[in-house]
Amino acid sequence: MGDESLLRDILTRYTRIAVVGMSKNPEKEAHTVPKYLLEQGYDIIPVNPTATEILGRPAYPNLSAVPGGYEIVDVFRPSADVPAVVDEAIKDARGKVIWTQLGIRNDEAAAKAAKAGFTVIQNRCMRTEHLRLFRPYAGD
């Protein structure tokens, strides 16, 4: 499956997104990107140990605390923190996709996640990709 069709498939098939490192700060990308996805109809689950609620949604300290599961783990943590997130996602075993946001890449953790059966997308903004693939073209 080509890159573009893989991204389209992920963003069409999966709707529950656990956002690891989601921010309470409305000026940060780790807040505005999940807010955009929420507005597009995705079920956003904030994962942030320092918050109890973000965007009116309950926040959870880690992936294993999320009730009801999730399909995508969207990572807004520094690249050095990705291995710990991947280890937790593998142990929790409920997700299908590990997606690291723009500027976040850890090839070793990505290889480990892929070996465990996850689809891995690195260094891409989920909002940017959604806009590129699904927004209506101006003038249509």
24-60 pLDDT per residue, tens: 999 999 999 999 999 999 999 999 999 999 999 999 9
Q: Tell me, yes or no, whether 140 lies in a domain.
A: no
Measure the CA–CA gap between 133 and 125, rounded to whole angstroms: 12
Give the CATH number of the domain where residue 121 resides. Answer: 3.40.50.720
Domain that includes residue 76, residue range: 3-134
Q: Tell me, yes or no, whether 43 lies in a domain.
A: yes
Q: Tell me, yes or no, whether 71 lies in a domain.
A: yes
Q: Tell me, yes or no, whether 127 lies in a domain.
A: yes
Query: What is the DSSP track for 32-96?
Result: HHHHHHHHTT-EEEEE-TT-SEETTEE-BSSGGG-TT--SEEEE-S-GGGHHHHHHHHHHH---S
Q: Tell me, yes or no, whether 139 lies in a domain.
A: no
The pTM of this model reads 0.94
Q: Count up the domains in the chain and report the number.
A: 1
Q: What is the mean pLDDT of residues 57-78?
A: 97
